[in-house]
Structure 1
């Protein structure tokens, strides 16, 4: 790992300089197009051509440093390219950080300590740079490097470090840390976020400093031509890749998993509940659930923390597995990293699809399985009762399950739970607590009115118009078909649930993504309407 503190020196041919910069630029554009998706980023980093032909991507090497600094200079000539390179470099740093073993973390801290040793922070003129370096020095001085690497790798939550809140903004925004007089108390399990934030600030500060040298650089025709070539490659290559960064996928955290289970398919929600009750899962169940978490966006360091916390507890008497994390730490760590493609053959494994799960037969002591294929009716009814699925939907789901159509049963379950959650959040929260609806609209919503107009303006847009200035016809047109309350940010229940924008899902993580996407109100009710009745 490197923060790119020192500019490399030496002689290199212009053709090699151009080659390094071109290869790194193309890679960074593809990485930006992954939008934070862990699996896509892993696939990209493991493709053979990047290993064989992109020596500049091997971290810490001279070629890695050369290509980084050349692109840093080139980004000063174009704001669009600067945004993508800045974002992708930060993502690359975060990905490398998340994949490190304990030994690699110790080597990283040792290298960082050597660089910081004897450095006079008061001589650093730039305030942000001085603050970022002070954070690194503070981390290194907390304890010995070996103990620090152990504490960091174990993801300790009982020990914290104080950093200026400016370097923990992502954690502060999600209320993951406590604040006291401008300082954030950050647990060591979140140290990755602090290092990533420091890297981001240092890169941003260094890029601003490099802009001051561009006048001198552009006087050299060789660099002028090189930067124009890089800009042309960026424009042509980025147009083929969707490298916009406005819809970046936010990774899951260990502490968020419980809340996210509301969006899980019943097969994986059942595994999660069994794990929380027994603190253990059988081998095949653990593999399936780990791969599901991986495809939902849980990074490897968060996955290690999740399983470490669970397997450090005493197992329930009904659990078949009696192993614990303390005695089997190396084995469990290796297995999880292997599933993430970081050990062994380094294959980037995918989660099991629904057909594969349905065709397999779980053992007598195994928890995994498709509820609509492997569970008996009593167990299936128990699951639906816990989820408060209405009897009408329960009878339809049971009918489809008994007649050998588990996929259709899962879709009906999906719609039933979506309706229940939307009713609960919309009626109880939106109508009772939000003040953005006028009384007339409140009454019509409470009466269950189904909007039929084609106007797409939201209620927020409506309230900004003086209704007295509109005639009767305009007042009718202004009623929206779908209302998204700006106060509670919950998709109001305006859509008849016999027609919802349901996309096909063939894997458990696709169920999760589709459910969460619909529930958060990020889709339109006009496209891809599916009739529930046609499912039966």
Structure 2
């Protein structure tokens, strides 16, 4: 029998087991040197930062991305977006050019690098969040690329070592007519332009706009379209990286320091212009009561009209529909007591006992009447913005919540629009095109402009409304308020209410 001594430690393993020596060893990872202002965010950051920096840097970047998304929702042009974002970028996420000689160069680029990866963790959990993060990060990269110093930009693109195949002079001459046609007749001399050959799937924007010649699955891209090529490469790499990040997320579940911060970031991605404000959407003097909701529904956006019509048809709505509609009604000024009256009368097929046991608490919870500190410190929940609705759970069988412009088929959407009075063929065609391009907010605003075209023309001609009051709508409650005000131009809601009760008073006398 051979006796083994298990108490002895292998000398070769001694260094790895001594945690005290390992704790004070020289760090394996060091701060990165940022040679370029632009970044493809390929290498994850590895140096130490504080928890305060971790959270604050992410919040600052989130402010920038949220405002960029708001510019997209408001359909601002690239030049308008650049002008609008300039002070915000300088305040929250400055990036000086290499030629500036700024002493803060490395610190600025480190913050940009880290904040991107922090938000990548926060937004990798679901497909909707990944798609949304990729879209706004691409917008930010495009904005910076266009504003970058020419020399810095050239050095950055060269450092990427992108596998673009250069088109030789013989091949350029062979396809000269096609290349010129794709460029709208330019260049007149094909030898004056350089061309790259890439897989067509890498430049979807150029293919969609018919700005490249396609042959054998390859796109012939002129050098002047370098921006589109680099941006497409950025997006492609980011989308793949987000997929990998999503697989690694379970490893973070046990970290009770980072997980709450990441959850908070992902749950609070709302554009400043789309956030709810009681004072901003209030209509003093208007009859916002349970008995008047049917009348008010004429000014509701399509998502809320669909919920209202479904409720009236079925005398019931499922959970997500009730939540979305309750918060909207709360936002237009319906108080808790009136909201309970509204829901009780609407659920006409059930008894008082069933309503009180199964539905009453949820309405009170939405208003903050019950629920404690977790329920927004007693104020209840805010009405859903358009982007909140678009990132929430899609409706299933028997459910009516969500955004009809996204969730309905073209035929069903057209039928619903016709039912609420939108019959113009050009408008319906435009809505269909907006839906196909996933520009749901533009479809909603197109319908609003059609329904209120006479009133909008009047306030524009009179100059009584500013351009800010007619900006793109990004919140259902703002839709209602603007619609209500336009439909009641020149009317005083308080005087109207007095006129309604005046005959009754005279009869009593």
Into which bin does the TM-score normalised by the smaller protein fall?
Answer: 0.3 to 0.5
Please say which structure displays the higher CA radius of gyration: 2
TM-score (norm 2): 0.41
Structure 1 length normalisation: TM-score? 0.39
